[in-house]
Structure 1
Amino acid sequence: MDLNYFKYLKRLALNYKLYIEMRVRLLIFNIYWYNTIEQIKIVGPDSLSIIIITAFFVGMVFTLQIVKEFLHINAISLVGSILTIAFIRELSPVLTSVIIVGRIASCFTAELATMSVTEQLDALYLLETSPISYLVIPRVLSSILILPFLNIFSFITSLFSSSFICFTIYNIHPEIFFTSSFSSLYIIDIIKSLFKTLIFGFLISVISCIWGINANGGAKGVGQSTTSSVVSSLLAVFIADFILSYIMFSKVGSSIKTL
């Protein structure tokens, strides 16, 4: 990332200007719905397979590390509860967002950066079309709408892969696992998890579009913007995750129920 402070402040000012313009366009309902639907296809169905595969294996690995410790203290009835809480509150939202950063944020930035350095954005202005309405807002809306659904798929996949490992390796019957799991799964935790991914989707899409639309310097600038976009998006997700988790869960009592 560029450490020139003058350029950094200039980019920050451009980012703020872009954010304000995006809010104005949303308020006046200047939205290209066809573009939004196209971006939804890219963010959603095209990302679902990698989300499910990754969640399946991460769920199994996480279970391998956790279950043996609970067996050591003879707390089999708590395994489903602990894994469910970990998945719904933290692992699924963050895992989904990290995958989206790697797959979608880099895509958004590379596309917009290429358009920026080849002056295609200037052509849109000549056609009296705002790049914010035509390019940025569809990407932001698609990310906000789709990430919560991907999060649910990730959570369900992780839970079933955990149950599979518990049964095949540790001989914990699925009935015991899911009874423990559902006893600690509350609708408020699901809502908070979905809200997390909504915020993450907004941050990822806005940051990636900002880096792309302000890119310059030819092919080198496209590469630098894409790298900076991924790094910035990951940092934003992790920082936002801590802040949201602290606000949502720091004063919440235990959700675990012994069976």
Structure 2
Amino acid sequence: MACFLGGQVIMRILRSGVNRQRTVEQMVAAGPFTLTPVLLINLFAGMIFTIQTARELERFGAIQALGGAFAMAFCRELAPILTAAIMAGQVGTAYAAEIGCMKVTDQLDALKLLRTDPIDYLVVPRVVACCVMLPVLTVMGLVLGLAGGVGIAFLLYHMPPGQFLDSVRSLMMLTDLIAVIIKSVLFGAIVALAGCTWGMTTTCSRSVGRAATSAVVTTWVGLFVVDFFLSLLLFGGTGVALH
């Protein structure tokens, strides 16, 4: 159902474009309101990852490679997944609940009577907003997580920030950042489509809460499935990589 809805969204964007006002409203809801938890979780995740990784590298006398390990795991995988998961919990559930309430109170039928397509009016702006805002939030979370890693490496392991960042640069290329942004765009589409799909398939008032819960579960499953294939394509050992 979500794939079918995604196809409809693409067709409508190509055919009639995007309602800018509605899209900006959804961008505000999906971006600034999610910023604080994204930054906090990425900050502490970066610090935790640095502590755990440094502990193992120190045992083998390879602490100088800490920044490279951070780049490979946190920057490529953990930051995009964490940010998408936060958006799924805050934005995806809101989409499912809002549209579900509109469905059970016949507001979607009212839109059709007014010759307004619910997908054009409700779904397309939400999908575009998530696809735009999730990469922005991911990059911001990545930067703060990196700052947390640099700080912990300096405070606990006396690694100069320059050495940590040089190790990051040695393994993380511009193409890696492009790959992270591509992932984030797709993750944003998954979050929005899952929330909107469950909202539009709600049948009664009692199922609105279940729709919100199901939207999160569906999003998480979709995120990890898509992330597996993207990681295989972009970073896999088959030679099919961006760089």
TM surpasses 0.5:
yes
CA contact (8 A) 1:109 1:211 kept: yes
Alignment of 1:119-198 (within 5 A): 119-198=106-185
**Change in CA separation of 1:16 and 1:49 when aligned onto 2, cut-off 3 Å:** closer
Alignment correspondent of 1:95: 82
Q: Helix, strand or coil: the match of 1:172?
A: coil
Where does structure 2 lack aligned partners over 5 or more consecutive residues? none
Contact 2:131 2:185 in 1 (8 A): yes
Aligned equivalent of 1:9: none
Q: 1:45 to 1:80 in 2, by over 3 A?
A: same
2:18 to 27, 31, 36: 31
| Partner residue, 1:232 | 218
Question: Matched residues in 2 for 1:44 and 1:30: separation?
Answer: 22
Aligned residues with identical type, % of pairs: 34
Q: CA RMSD in A?
A: 1.5
* Aligned counterpart, 1:53: 40
Distance 1:57 1:126, change over 3 A: same
Give, in angstroms, the shift of residue 30 of structure 1: 4.3
> Which residue identity does 1:225 align to in structure 2?
A
Tell me whether 20-29 or 241-250 shows the greater mean CA deviation: 20-29
The equivalent of 1:223 in structure 2 is 209
* TM-score between both structures, scaled by the size of structure 1: 0.88
Q: For the Cα contact (< 8 Å) 2:49–2:74, is it kept in 1?
A: no
What is the distance in 1 between the residues matched to 2:160 and 2:72? 19
Given that residues 31 and 134 in structure 1 are in contact (C-alpha distance below 8 angstroms), is that contact kept between their aligned partners in structure 2? no
Question: Amino acid of the residue matched to residue 224 of structure 1?
Answer: R
After TM superposition, give the deviation of residue 222 of structure 1 in Å: 0.4
Instruction: Work out whether 1:244 is the aligned partner of 2:230.
Output: yes
Runs of 4 or more consecutive aligned structure 1 residues displaced over 4 Å after TM superposition: none
Aligned residues: 239
Q: 1:206 to 1:81 in 2, by over 3 A?
A: same
Structure 1 position 18, deviation (Å): 3.6
Whose Rg is larger? 1
TM-score (norm 2): 0.94
Aligned residue type for 1:240: V
**Aligned counterparts of 1:177 and 1:184: Cα–Cα separation in 2:** 12
Deviations 1:48-101 (A, max 9, x none): 111111101111111111101111111122011110121221011111111111
Q: Which residue of 2 aligns with 1:44?
A: 31
5+ residue gaps, structure 1, are: 1-11, 254-259
2:95 is the alignment partner of 1:69? no
Structure 1 letter corresponding to 2:127? V
